[in-house]
Amino acid sequence: MGVDPASLNAILITHEHNDHIGGLPVLAKAREDAGRMVQVPVYITHLTAPAVPWGDCEPILEQFQAGSSFTIGDIDVTSFSIPHDAADPVGFSFKAEGIKIAIATDLGYLPDSVRVHLRGSDILLLESNHDLEMLKVGPYPWAIKQRVMSRMGHLSNDAASDFIREDLDHRTSTLILGHISESNNHPALVEQAATQALTGRSLFTRLVIADPRAGTETFTY
């Protein structure tokens, strides 16, 4: 992304699965920058921290309880528990200067407790992980397919679209659908399902499909 690691104020971790923390031990290490040592603190739940393979990294940990709120600089952060097969998985919402951004990926379904935290979001990043038919006939072993489809797994395109039809806030000006499986989904299928759901509610929310192979644009508000 072209961002200098030394410019970061914090690293926030949702859970310990490798596709989310694979680069964490390197990023969280102390490093020299302009003749001084800098180290970015890691915000992580008490139960997730021990599940991370830190290696020789000695991180600065800011541990919190899932569901708690805290402040980083001028950003108010709220964590919320999500249903996923990890030690203590969370999503986050961020508020600053009247703007709210929420992130919810890696969850098997959307309980009311999560939906409450997504309301009022100006920008929402939501999972649209798999197409059910592609998953069923795809390359994964059956045990993993069952895990993905379970209530502790991942949201399907249908589940994401159901949320759009039932509960997407009119305030949300940008909806980003991400965590798209490269094996069991296709961005065109994600876009088609979500567009139909948005059209059905006459919402003019901007829809962005996050390419699993490339970074998205930088969103400003």
CATH number assigned to the domain comprising residue 189: 3.60.15.10
Summarize the confidence of residues 62-79 as an average pLDDT. 98
Could you tell me if residue 148 is inside a domain?
A: yes
**Cα 58 from Cα 29, distance rounded (Å):** 7
Residue 1 has pLDDT above 80, yes or no: no
Could you tell me if residue 185 is inside a domain?
A: yes
Could you tell me if residue 7 is inside a domain?
A: no
Could you tell me if residue 27 is inside a domain?
A: no
Residue 34: what pLDDT? 80
Could you tell me if residue 190 is inside a domain?
A: yes
Residue 191 has pLDDT above 80, yes or no: yes
Could you tell me if residue 175 is inside a domain?
A: yes
| Total domain count, the chain | 1
Could you tell me if residue 37 is inside a domain?
A: no
Phi, psi of 22 (to 5 degrees): -55, -35
Question: E strands, the chain, where?
Answer: 11-12, 31-33, 36-38, 42-45, 61-64, 69-72, 75-81, 90-96, 99-104, 123-127, 174-178, 206-209
Domain residue limits at 106? 98-212
**pLDDT tens per residue, range 197-218:** 999 999 999 999 999 888 899 9
Cα(first)–Cα(last) distance of the chain, in Å?
Answer: 19
Residue 107 has pLDDT above 80, yes or no: yes
Residue 201: what pLDDT? 93
**pLDDT tens per residue, range 164-177:** 999 999 999 999 99
What is the pTM (predicted TM-score) of this model?
0.95
